[in-house]
Every structure is written in structure tokens, then in C-alpha cells.
Chain A
Amino acid sequence: QKEVEQNSGPLSVPEGAIASLNCTYSDRGSQSFFWYRQYSGKSPELIMSIYSNGDKEDGRFTAQLNKASQYVSLLIRDSQPSDSATYLCAYNFGNEKLTFGTGTRLTIIP
């Protein structure tokens, strides 16, 4: 069964520090990876996509993908209280559906 594994947290990080979120997946054929942010009671909001091995940076966010290790991570630099949310890792391959992990709850401590 194709799975996405995430540490459910909660992960507590001081304001201004780097938050590191990790995700492993079981499907070696997976090609596209995504990080979504979900505030409580709200919908998933796309913050990063990554398709090839290596790092991809967008503002304070960096996604890292290692297909050989079946591992994708998200780094949030200079963490802000507004970054407190649940972060969902998702992937798809060939077909269209996204497969989501259960999410990691991140709390930024002022």
C-alpha cells in the first residue's frame, strides 16, 4: 500500500529558529512532491512543490528531495508565529490523485 509517513508532532520551535519537517514515502515511482500548510479548520494551502532531487528554495521555505532514500523535507527559516499550522506532505505519480500524510503539527513559540 502506498503510504506517506510524517511525524505527527507537535513540533515546537522558537520564533526565529529553523523548523525542519520530514516525510518518507513508500512508492518508489513517485515523481511529484508537495508541501501544504493547513490551519485549523481551513483547507490545505500549497506552499512548495518539488519534482527533482536536490533543494528548492522559495523565500523562507526550502524543500529537499532525495528519491533514492524516499525522503522529502521542508525547512522553514526565521520561523514566525504565523507559521504555526499543520504541514501536510503529499505526492503523486503518473495518475492524478494526491496521497497525503497525516501531517505534522508545528508550533512556533514567541
Chain B
Amino acid sequence: EPEVTQTPSHQVTQMGQEVILRCVPISNHLYFYWYRQILGQKVEFLVSFYNNEISEKSEIFDDQFSVERPDGSNFTLKIRSTKLEDSAMYFCASSYRDRHSYEQYFGPGTRLTVT
């Protein structure tokens, strides 16, 4: 069964450093998302991406964040200058979204630790 994959599984970085989190969505899916989950808190939406552009972003997704689909398979989230409060699990999700289904499938996540 097709799956969303993410790399790395765990990233440790120092405050102020740039990180890039990578995702390979399910191959025939057209809509891509990033969510994050701070330890013990609920899953929060960051950004959605369709047709090579951002379709929606949350208040969390400020100028320090960017997304890109550099080729036909990868979808990346970049954090330019990490802060301690960026420490969280970051989940990529994808969906096909036809009129019968709006289901989003999540990858295994990247645990980001900012020290």
C-alpha cells in the first residue's frame, strides 16, 4: 500500500540554524500538507500546497518557514532560523481529494529538536 515517507526521522539542530525536512507524498496525490505536534499538544496545521503554490497557511507559518516541491516527488519544509519553540514532531500529509474523498494520509514524522 502506498505510503507517505519522511526524512530524517530525527533532526537535532542548534538555535538559529536552518533545517530542511523532506517528504515524499503518495505518488498520485495532488495536495500536500505540513502539520506539527508539540509534545503533549494537539496536531496543528502549518501549510497546504497545491499546483506548485501555497493554498493556505496558518499563523504559525511565518516568514521563517517555506515549502517547496523541487521535483516531481519531493515536498520540503524549510525553517530558516530555528527557535527553541520549533521543537516538535513535523508531519507531512497528502491527499488526492476528489469529490468522494478528502482523506489525508500522514507520514511517520520528523522529530525536530532545537537546542
Contacts and interface: CB of A to CB of B under 8 A. Distances in A.
A98 B34 CA distance: 11
A44 B55 contact: no
Contacts of A99: 45
Contacts, number: 56
B102 A95 contact: no
Q: Which of A34, A46, A103 has the most CB of B within 10 A?
A: A46
Interface residues of A, number: 22
Given A49-B101, A96-B55, A97-B58, A43 B91 contact: yes
Contacts of B95: 96
B103 A43 contact: no
Given A95-B56, A96-B31, A97-B58, A46 B45 contact: no
A101 to B, nearest CB: 7
A22 interface: no
B109 interface: yes
Interface of B: 31, 33, 35, 41-45, 48, 50, 55-56, 58, 89, 91, 93, 95, 97, 101-109
